Amino acid sequence: MLEAGLALLPVNVNSNLEAAWKYHNTTKHSVASVLNNRHFLDWDNRPLPFKAYTALEPLALPREVRQTGVAALSAIAESIRTDSSAIPDVEALAQLLYLTAGFTRHRKYPGGDIHFRAAACTGALYEVELYVVCGDLVDLEAGVYHFSPAEFALRRLRAGDYRSVLSEATAGETSIIHAPLTIICTCIYWRNAWKYQARTYRHFGWDNGTLLANLLAVATALGMPAKLICGFVDADVNRLLEVDPDREVAFSLVALGHFAALAQQLPSDLSAIHLESVPLSRNETVYPAMHEIHAASSLRSPEEVETWRGNAPVNELPPPTKPIVPLHPYSDAEMPRDPIEQVILRRGSARKFAQVPIGLPQFSTMLDRATRGVPADFRDKQGTQLNDVYLIVHAVEGLDPGAYVYHRDRDVLECLKTGNFRAQAGHLGLDQQLPADAAADIFFLADLQMILERFGNRGYRAVQLEAGILSGKLYLGAYAQHVSATGLTFYDDDVIRFFSPHAHGKSVSMLVAIGMNAKSPL
Ligand SMILES: Cc1cc2nc3c(=O)[nH]c(=O)nc-3n(C[C@H](O)[C@H](O)[C@H](O)COP(=O)(O)O)c2cc1C
């Protein structure tokens, strides 16, 4: 219903930036907005945490996790060049899916069981679903598949090679054309909005992003080129997956692998397939603000996609004017080499930090490795980012406690102010203890106006997604060194005030706290 209404919107809806600003401003947290929010969690109406099709047979995936032996700190920092031409096998696909969205831990709570997954997710609500669109792989026939983490299985929604639908929907994006397989991430509104209401649309970017950090790292470890695609004709991808776009929408695509021969351009029969799935809850609440920003950031033709991608705005911090401190990452020889598979399985959000310091090389290494760039269609130069990195340092050996901004191009921190800001950090992170006790709090801030001017409302998706990926890489960069981490939410304007005047005019995308776990040494 809502997506059909898109046809009535003016052609340049993506460039009407009021939509993104309206959504952003009305979903900011402030002390007053949190105090006045009467929302409560209706446990009896809690959404199902995974999508369950009623009729399709599951196709079990191989469960053995291959040990690539590739160091997590390399896997998060590098990507594979597109000169390989191997067709992935089903084991590699299973590995990618498991380490991206598989069940990794299980805990019983009075309200029921929670299956924790490979990547962090707001409220452990797991609103991101994964689909695979592939040609013939080794031991897997061409098709469109849904991944079920509960059964660790695929369900085939369409038989045959539908990659040409994605080539068209992405206006011939090169990585998609040459990809033996593409993973599509969709987001389900109600599954997360049950708790977070309209702010869930931001969570789409963050939670999809942490999951993509794993996916990109595992692809690198498997020697597979991978590229994140944010620009596509929304309605065409949703139709391919036969999702109900009032409830579930395609949010990002990752082209995986590279095969020199072009994908077969078969005529794509996109007849409706009417797939039933179990309702998530007894009833669902619609938060129109999210549907409005989604519609306003949708791209509606390959031509629009083509003009949308690339040519990211130049995002350079002004040269430092305050004292600078050089970072000291480990050399390649000194770098901890814990493999990516182990680090992903070890990861879990810190629930309590000990107020003890971490080393400067550890800290420098995670910052350096996590921010080396994301291969994406909204970035034309590897290493450049939409988000800037601001930090509150509490306990890092060799650094004065204080507020900093990271100049990646110079590998230095610029000190904006010194002091013990534990209490302020606790407040900024929504009055929680975690950011107060951490060794450091890392904020991603972006010049939203500049990004929206270049990418339209779709830039809002890209900037949240990138912040989620960088945060996911930070998680992995921390756990690779036996340091702990957690994503956190925040009081938007208070964060900007804290880092101003330097951060004047920017908006907060995400926050990650890192430090030593108080409960168990990792
Ligand atoms: C974007 C983001 C924001 C989060 N915000 C908070 C938060 O404000 N407070 C908190 O205690 N945990 C927060 N978390 C941690 C999640 O609760 C945690 O990821 C989830 O329960 C799954 O557990 P796991 O990360 O240990 O697998 C956040 C995680 C993410 C990815």
Q: How confident is the model at residue 313 (pLDDT cuts 50, 70, 90)?
A: confident
For residue 308, the surrounding DSSP H or E stretch is helix 302-308
Question: What local confidence, expressed as pLDDT, does residue 262 receive?
Answer: 64
Quick check: 280 and 48 in contact, CB under 8 A?
A: yes
CA of 120 to the centre of ligand 1 (A): 6
Please report the atom of ligand 1 found closest to the CA of residue 510: 1
Please report the atom of ligand 1 found closest to the CA of residue 468: 1
Cβ neighbors of 109 (< 8 A, separation 6 or more) are none
Q: How confident is the model at residue 2 (pLDDT cuts 50, 70, 90)?
A: very low
Please report the atom of ligand 1 found closest to the CA of residue 118: 27
- In this structure, the residue with its CA closest to atom 9 of ligand 1 is 488
Please state which of the ranges 83-92, 96-105, 151-160, 236-245 shows the lowest mean pLDDT: 83-92
Quick check: 490 and 429 in contact, CB under 8 A?
A: yes
Pairing verdict, β 112-117 and 103-109: antiparallel
pLDDT exceeds 70 at position 431: yes
Quick check: 339 and 205 in contact, CB under 8 A?
A: no
Average pLDDT rounded to a whole number, residues 40-66? 93
CA of 265 to the centre of ligand 1 (A): 42
Question: What local confidence, expressed as pLDDT, does residue 5 receive?
Answer: 47
Please report the atom of ligand 1 found closest to the CA of residue 434: 11
Quick check: 329 and 505 in contact, CB under 8 A?
A: no
CA of 270 to the centre of ligand 1 (A): 38
Q: How confident is the model at residue 4 (pLDDT cuts 50, 70, 90)?
A: very low
CA of 510 to the centre of ligand 1 (A): 12
- In this structure, the residue with its CA closest to atom 17 of ligand 1 is 123
Quick check: 192 and 205 in contact, CB under 8 A?
A: no
Q: What is the mean pLDDT of the chain?
A: 93
Residues with CB under 6 A from ligand 1: 116, 120-124, 206-207, 210, 348-349, 430, 432, 434, 486-489, 510
Task: Specify the pTM.
Answer: 0.96
Question: What local confidence, expressed as pLDDT, does residue 33 receive?
Answer: 95
Q: What percent of the chain has pLDDT over 70?
A: 95
Q: What percent of the chain has pLDDT over 90?
A: 86
Name the residue of 99, 122, 202 to mutate for ligand 1: max ligand atoms within 8 A of Cβ.
122
Average pLDDT rounded to a whole number, residues 352-358? 97
Quick check: 420 and 401 in contact, CB under 8 A?
A: yes
Q: Which residues pair with 131 in a beta bridge?
A: 146, 184
Q: How confident is the model at residue 382 (pLDDT cuts 50, 70, 90)?
A: low
Q: Model confidence over 131-165: pLDDT tens digits?
A: 999 999 999 999 999 999 999 999 999 999 999 99
CA of 485 to the centre of ligand 1 (A): 9
- In this structure, the residue with its CA closest to atom 28 of ligand 1 is 487
Instruction: State both tokens at 19.
Output: 């939509």
CA 385 to chain centre: 14
Question: What local confidence, expressed as pLDDT, does residue 216 receive?
Answer: 98
Average pLDDT rounded to a whole number, residues 500-506? 98
Q: Model confidence over 436-460: pLDDT tens digits?
A: 999 999 999 999 999 999 999 999 9
Instruction: State both tokens at 268.
Output: 């794509």
Highest mean pLDDT among 11-20, 174-183, 270-279: 174-183
Instruction: State both tokens at 356.
Output: 């003890």
Question: What local confidence, expressed as pLDDT, does residue 261 receive?
Answer: 73
Question: What local confidence, expressed as pLDDT, does residue 85 receive?
Answer: 67
Question: What local confidence, expressed as pLDDT, does residue 334 receive?
Answer: 96
pLDDT exceeds 50 at position 1: no
d(CA 517, CA 504): 33
CA of 95 to the centre of ligand 1 (A): 24
Question: What local confidence, expressed as pLDDT, does residue 493 receive?
Answer: 98
Residue with tokens 């999951």: 211
Question: What local confidence, expressed as pLDDT, does residue 448 receive?
Answer: 97
d(CA 241, CA 129): 11
CA of 59 to the centre of ligand 1 (A): 31
Question: What local confidence, expressed as pLDDT, does residue 112 receive?
Answer: 79
Question: What local confidence, expressed as pLDDT, does residue 138 receive?
Answer: 92
Q: Model confidence over 418-427: pLDDT tens digits?
A: 999 999 999 9
CA of 300 to the centre of ligand 1 (A): 34
Number of alpha carbons in the 13 Å side-chain half-sphere of residue 373: 16
Question: What local confidence, expressed as pLDDT, does residue 316 receive?
Answer: 87
Question: What local confidence, expressed as pLDDT, does residue 522 receive?
Answer: 56
CA of 121 to the centre of ligand 1 (A): 6
Please report the atom of ligand 1 found closest to the CA of residue 430: 8
- Cα angle 520, 521, 522 (rounded to 5 degrees) comes to 105
Question: What local confidence, expressed as pLDDT, does residue 517 receive?
Answer: 96
| Cβ neighbours of 385 (radius 10 Å) | 22
